[in-house]
């Protein structure tokens, strides 16, 4: 199994470290030639979604990435990655990949000072969650499975081979969310 991690901006090294500790081969996606190789899944990390969306286009990665996701490649988006995948962002006119049938609210918990930690259920298991200027999901489409709710807000969901979290599982010592994603990848290989 080989997982590409988008390394344009944001918290990508933490995802790489967790995946490597789980015995998964990873590589960094920084330019078009990187995404053209053969691999089994991709992680879109947290960071700043507007910057990441712009860089995807400027570096000519956007179309290839979109095609891979549309062709059922497993993808895991955290925080900004969730926004890149969201079909609609209710407080932002920009759309990015728009492959995940959700309506997200950008910076829903406020500025950096609104960041917080919680211990809540993800896919039935209690895990630690770190929220940093996090979005949440306001609405889900009919083929979307809600995996986590915190304070009556949807913060994790799955649609087919796509997984999103509003929180940062890569900033905790709990690997349950990454293992969940790797199971999606295994089922797709």
Confidence band of 133 (pLDDT split at 50, 70, 90) = confident
Q: Is 170 noted as a catalytic residue in this protein?
A: yes
Distance in angstroms (rounded) separating the CA atoms of residues 96 and 129: 25
Closest C-alpha among 71, 83, 109 to residue 6: 83
**Per-residue model confidence as pLDDT tens digits over 34-57:** 999 999 999 999 888 889 999 999
On the 0-12 / 13-18 / 19+ scale of CB atoms within 10 A, 123 is middle
Residue 163 has pLDDT above 80, yes or no: yes
Quote the DSSP letter at residue 92: -
Closest C-alpha among 169, 173, 129 to residue 45: 169
Tell me what pLDDT residue 145 has. Answer: 98
Residues 135, 46 contacting (CB under 8 angstroms): no
pTM of the model as a whole: 0.94
Cα angle 72, 143, 74 (rounded to 5 degrees) comes to: 25
Q: Is 174 noted as a catalytic residue in this protein?
A: no
**Per-residue model confidence as pLDDT tens digits over 2-20:** 999 999 988 899 999 999 9
User: Which of these is catalytic: 7, 15, 96, 170?
Assistant: 170
Q: Which two tokens stand for residue 97?
A: 């990949």
Q: Where are the domains of the chain?
A: 2-188
Residue 149 has pLDDT above 70, yes or no: yes
Tell me what pLDDT residue 115 has. Answer: 82
For 6, residues 6+ apart whose C-beta sits below 8 A from its C-beta are 12, 29, 42, 43, 44, 45, 52, 65, 81
CATH class of 2-188: alpha beta
Tell me what pLDDT residue 93 has. Answer: 74
Average pLDDT of the segment spanning 71-89: 95
Confidence band of 114 (pLDDT split at 50, 70, 90) = low
Confidence band of 110 (pLDDT split at 50, 70, 90) = low
Q: Provide, rounded to the nearest whole percent, the portion of the chain with pLDDT above 90.
A: 82
User: Which of these is catalytic: 168, 174, 176, 178?
Assistant: 168
Long-range contacts of 182-189, Cβ-Cβ distance < 8 Å, separation of 24 or more: 182/1, 182/19, 182/22, 182/24, 182/41, 184/41, 184/74, 184/76, 184/158, 185/1, 185/3, 185/40, 185/41, 185/74, 186/1, 188/40, 188/41, 188/72, 188/73, 188/74, 188/161, 189/1, 189/40
User: Which of these is catalytic: 7, 14, 15, 79?
Assistant: 79
């Amino acid at each position: 199994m080989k997982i590409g991690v988008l390394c344009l901006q944001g918290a990508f090294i933490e995802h790489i470290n967790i995946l490597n500790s789980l015995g998964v081969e990873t590589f960094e996606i920084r330019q078009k030639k990187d995404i053209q190789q053969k691999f089994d899944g991709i992680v879109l990390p947290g960071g700043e979604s507007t910057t990441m969306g712009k860089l995807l286009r400027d570096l000519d990665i956007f179309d290839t990435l979109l095609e891979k996701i549309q062709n059922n490649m497993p993808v895991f988006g955290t925080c900004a990655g969730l926004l890149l995948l969201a079909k609609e962002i209710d407080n932002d006119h920009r759309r990015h990949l728009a492959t995940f049938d959700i309506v997200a609210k950008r910076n829903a918990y406020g500025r950096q000072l609104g960041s917080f930690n919680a211990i809540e259920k993800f896919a039935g298991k209690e895990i630690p969650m770190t929220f940093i200027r996090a979005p949440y999901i306001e609405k889900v489409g009919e083929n979307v499975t809600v995996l986590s709710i915190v304070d009556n807000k949807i913060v994790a969901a799955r649609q087919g081979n796509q997984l999103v979290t509003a929180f940062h599982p890569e900033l905790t010592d709990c690997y349950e969310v990454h293992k969940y994603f790797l199971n999606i990848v295994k089922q797709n290989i």
